[in-house]
């Protein structure tokens, strides 16, 4: 069903509102001027992975757009958890969004109320599961990630997704699953909703996140790679280097760890490092189930 016609509730400015009634007016600043920031989180086994980090980033995204969300990090965390329970999901995608309301219309929005809504829904796999293991195919986007002097590139701001949607549509029209975007200088940056890693001679390479989101999944993957003792280099990657890499994968909350088989004319084969990190990520996000023996010991002690 369409996203405005579902069952259940949406957390909206502090209340649980029936899903189809969680609306905004057409004269909403956030809609006209993209004064909106959001998050994308995943719950696994009833627990939202790195919830606190996501909520802190939401606050920071809003601050970069010159507004303050009228709920504390703790209140937002509690709201996400309450909603997840209310909706009865174990595994789900969680989408908080904050935006400027309708009190003023025009570029200036000094008096506009800041709203916050949270929705959760079932979103099993961002990419076709049948394709995922073989690797997805990426187009090369025409648009580039903007210069940090041009846009608040560290904010997960709705407005920054305009070029991502255009790029993803162009890629899908050509039969690709997604697009790789270069940055304003021409270095490899990220996919339209995920960060990117490469492997060459057993070493991981990933672009320095100096003008795009340093994803929470990206940081998790770096930690997992370190635990495995893999060598990892964070650096500027030139497009002409794409031919030299053997493996490639993208990662993000929605995409998780997804191998890439092609970027335009360049091809890659998902190999051991990619598949190991993919599995390690799957294990990392699931809350550990206490073993029966340990539970028993805990009960006794």
> Closest separation between CB of residue 253 and ligand PMP, Å?
3
Measured between alpha carbons, how far is 260 from 279 in angstroms, rounded to an integer?
16
Question: Smaller CB distance to ligand PMP: residue 9 or 178?
Answer: 178
Q: Which is nearer to ligand PMP, 109 or 211 (CB)?
A: 211
* Smallest separation (angstroms) from ligand PMP to the CB of 242: 19
Q: Note whether 258 and 250 are within 8 A (CB).
A: yes
Tell me how far, at minimum, the Cβ of 195 lies from ligand PMP, in Å. 5
- Spatial distance between the Cα atoms of 104 and 114, rounded to a whole number of angstroms: 12
135 vs 193 by CB, closer to ligand PMP = 193
SS3 138: strand
Q: SS3 for 251?
A: strand
Least distance between ligand PMP and beta carbon 206 (Å): 12
Active site members: 156
Interface ranges with ligand PMP (CB under 6 A) = 40, 190, 193-195, 213, 215-218, 252-253
Tokens of 165: 């949607």
- Which one, 195 or 247, has the nearer CB to ligand PMP? 195
Reduced 3-state DSSP string for 29-92 = HHHHHCCEEECCEEEECCEECCHHHHHHHHHHHHHHCCCCCCCCHHHHHHHHHHHHHHHCCCCE
Smaller CB separation from ligand PMP, 29 or 218: 218
Smallest distance, ligand PMP to C-beta of residue 59, A? 14
Q: How far apart are CA 222 and CA 219, in angstroms?
A: 5
The residue with its CB nearest to ligand PMP is: 215
């Amino acid at each position: 069903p369409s996203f405005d016609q579902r069952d259940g509730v949406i957390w909206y400015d502090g209340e649980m509102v029936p899903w189809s009634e969680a609306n905004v007016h057409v004269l909403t600043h956030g809609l006209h001027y993209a004064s909106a920031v959001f998050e994308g989180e995943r719950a696994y086994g009833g627990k939202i992975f790195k919830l606190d980090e996501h909520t802190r980033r939401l606050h920071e995204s809003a601050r970069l757009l010159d507004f303050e969300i009228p709920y504390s990090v703790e209140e937002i965390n509690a709201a996400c958890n309450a909603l997840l329970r209310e909706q009865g999901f174990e595994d789900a995608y969680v989408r908080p969004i904050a935006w400027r309301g309708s009190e003023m219309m025009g570029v200036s929005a000094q008096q506009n109320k800041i709203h916050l809504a949270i929705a959760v829904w079932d979103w099993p796999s961002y990419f076709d599961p049948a394709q995922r293991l073989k690797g997805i195919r990426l187009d090369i986007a025409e648009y580039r990630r903007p210069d940090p002097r041009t846009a608040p590139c560290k904010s997960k701001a709705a407005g920054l997704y305009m070029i991502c949607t255009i790029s993803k549509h162009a890629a899908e029209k050509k039969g690709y699953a997604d697009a790789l975007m270069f940055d304003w200088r021409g270095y490899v940056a990220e996919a339209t909703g995920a960060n990117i890693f490469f492997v060459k001679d057993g070493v991981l390479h990933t672009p320095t996140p100096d003008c795009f989101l340093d994803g929470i999944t990206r940081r998790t993957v770096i930690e997992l790679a370190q635990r495995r003792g893999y060598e990892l280099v964070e650096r500027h990657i030139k497009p002409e280097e794409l031919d030299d890499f053997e493996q490639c994968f993208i990662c993000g909350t929605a995409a998780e760890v997804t191998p890439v088989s092609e970027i335009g004319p360049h091809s890659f084969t998902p190999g051991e490092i990619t598949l190991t990190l993919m599995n390690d990520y799957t294990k990392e996000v699931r809350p550990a189930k206490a073993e029966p023996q340990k539970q028993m010991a805990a009960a006794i002690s």
